Amino acid sequence: MEALFGTDGIRGVANRYPITPEIALHVGRAVAAVLKTNSRSRIVIGKDGRISGDMLEAALAAGICSAGADVYLAGIIPTPAVAFLATAVRADAGIVVSASHNPYEDNGIKIFDSQGFKLNRETEQVIENRVLNSNGDFVPATDDQIGIIHSMPEARDWYTRFLKQSMQEADNLKDLHLVIDCSNGATSMIAPRVFSELRAGVTVLSDQPNGLNINANCGSQHIEPLQKAVVDAGADVGLAFDGDGDRLIAVDETGSPVTGDHILAICARHMEQAGVLKNNLVVSTVMSNVGLINALKQMGIRHMVTDVGDRYVLDRMRASDAVLGGEDSGHMIFLDHHSSGDGIMTAIRLLEAMHCAGQSLSSLRGIMDVFPQVLKNVRIRQKTDIYQFPEIAQVIERVENHLGDRGRVLVRYSGTQPLCRVMVEGPDPDETDRMCQDIVDVVSENLGE
């Protein structure tokens, strides 16, 4: 069998390997066995509302109970809420059934430890080995040691309170009109409530999950409806979350997008000025725009770069004692507030920066000049070494030589989908698009389906 864990847990098409009830059952058993710390451990499970969530939740719960641990079902709730709840109820682990920003046909399994952090590679490998070996050494719980399933009707209240308490002053948002796009996902029952209770004026989009409409032409991956709604309503800010609520892309009052890189730059300056940017350091990935690098340099803020994936950002942050890091995709980590990337928390931090600066979001986004960036995906047959194909290596070298110090090229595989991502930054939008397409054509000829 193929490996289970990718860059963000286990993910794939629901009801096909590896996202099957059988695998979920074994994952539940393995998580309980590996992370169990006492004779009556507890594990929290949350989900994002897609149609296959109930099936996988039930299988995970059955596996956990059969291993002698209790299950606490948080229901439809954002991924970062499960990280929070794992610590709040002193659980041994938290599990999320979600495929994040992917379409409803997909699903996945993400796992947090007792401190609300995603598992390290070594622990994932131990769990994976147990699952792929069909738990051959598994000893089922018997008699009164069999686990019990509990519901957590209070989970959303606890998480809402946690988010609201992170706002320094309760009245900071009272004069703002927000448009919120919940992506028909896990933030639908949380985000409107949080910002309304923080006294902002709120207009809500895409907050009616039906199992099939998550991320469908809405949310952080499709901000066009939000842009129009912000302009039409004369709102101050638009907030777009992804399906499981760990990402945020914002829209300013003119309808212009405010990406993760913009948010990092805005929040970095705010935190530096407030004296809370620990070690004067920001961590981001190789996907960050050159404009962010330049902006941080101009502000005198240190910058570290990691591979793509929030786990790599978090690892570097913890190793370097940083409190701010993230990705251009909108996955931000404020480690002085939370152990996980959290879209609603990110929105609170961004709005707080606006309030303290006394400026509009369109003014604040001018903190960095964005280099034209084109990102295109190629669906591939399998993931093999890109540079073993001379034609691909040659076209990449040709574009890099042409750009020189006026841009850059990044060609990499997606960690969660069968895609090769081609990113080119350059001085001119049309020229950048042409160069990106040149690489895409060659990649498609050599690796495409």
Residue 85, pLDDT > 70, answer: yes
For residue 448, the 8-state DSSP code is B
| 414 band by pLDDT with thresholds 50, 70 and 90 | confident
Average pLDDT, integer, range 276-281:
98
| 350 band by pLDDT with thresholds 50, 70 and 90 | very high
At residue 136, the pLDDT reads 60
Using CB atoms within 10 A of its CB, is residue 63 exposed (0-12), middle (13-18) or buried (19+)? Answer: buried
Q: How many CA atoms lie within 13 A of 429 on its CB side?
A: 1
Residue 3, pLDDT > 90, answer: no
Active-site residue flag, 288: no
Average pLDDT, integer, range 322-339:
96
At residue 204, the pLDDT reads 98
The token duo for 217 is 């032409």
At residue 261, the pLDDT reads 97
Which single residue is written with the structure tokens 């590996």? 34
State pLDDT tens for residues 229-248: 999 999 999 999 999 999 99
Domains of the chain: 5-158 (3.40.120.10), 159-255 (3.40.120.10), 258-367 (3.40.120.10), 373-447 (3.30.310.50)
Least confident residue range of 30-39, 146-155, 390-399: 30-39
Q: Which residues are 180's β-sheet partners?
A: 204, 239
Instruction: Report the C-alpha gap between 186 and 179 in whole angstroms.
Output: 17
Catalytic residue among 100, 284, 288, 339: 100
- Strand pairing class (106-113; 9-13): antiparallel
Cis peptide before 257 (omega within 30 of 0): no
At residue 324, the pLDDT reads 98
| 1 band by pLDDT with thresholds 50, 70 and 90 | low
Residue 175, pLDDT > 80, answer: yes
Task: State the Cα torsion 350-353-358-361 to the nearest 10°.
Answer: -30
Using CB atoms within 10 A of its CB, is residue 297 exposed (0-12), middle (13-18) or buried (19+)? Answer: exposed
Instruction: Report the C-alpha gap between 122 and 28 in whole angstroms.
Output: 17
DSSP string, 13-50: ETTSTTSSHHHHHHHHHHHHHHH--STT-EEEEEE---
Instruction: Report the C-alpha gap between 296 and 326 in whole angstroms.
Output: 14
Average pLDDT, integer, range 292-300:
94
Instruction: Name the average pLDDT for the chain.
Output: 94
At residue 353, the pLDDT reads 96
The token duo for 275 is 């004296």
Angle at 349 between CA 344 and CA 354, to 5 degrees: 125
Residue 138, pLDDT > 90, answer: no
What percent of the residues of the chain are helix, what percent strand, and what percent coil, each to the nearest 5? 40, 20, 35
- φ, ψ for residue 122, nearest 5 deg: -65, -45
Average pLDDT, integer, range 69-77:
98
- Of the candidates 278, 230, 259, the one whose C-alpha atom is nearest the C-alpha of residue 350 is 259
The token duo for 59 is 């299988």
Considering just the CA atoms, what is the radius of gyration of the chain in Å? 22
Residue 37, pLDDT > 90, answer: no
Contact yes or no for 96/40 (Cβ under 8 A): no
Instruction: Report the C-alpha gap between 140 and 235 in whole angstroms.
Output: 56
At residue 309, the pLDDT reads 87
Residue 170, pLDDT > 90, answer: no
Instruction: Report the C-alpha gap between 154 and 97 in whole angstroms.
Output: 19
| 117 band by pLDDT with thresholds 50, 70 and 90 | very high
Residue 135, pLDDT > 70, answer: no
Using CB atoms within 10 A of its CB, is residue 199 exposed (0-12), middle (13-18) or buried (19+)? Answer: middle
User: 126-135, 247-256, 308-317, 373-382: which has the highest mean pLDDT?
Assistant: 247-256
Residue 405, pLDDT > 80, answer: no
At residue 378, the pLDDT reads 95
Q: Which residues are 375's β-sheet partners?
A: 423
For residue 420, the 8-state DSSP code is E
User: In the chain, pLDDT over 70 holds for what percent of residues?
Assistant: 99
Residue 416, pLDDT > 90, answer: no
Structure-model confidence comparison of residues 427 and 214, the more confident one: 214
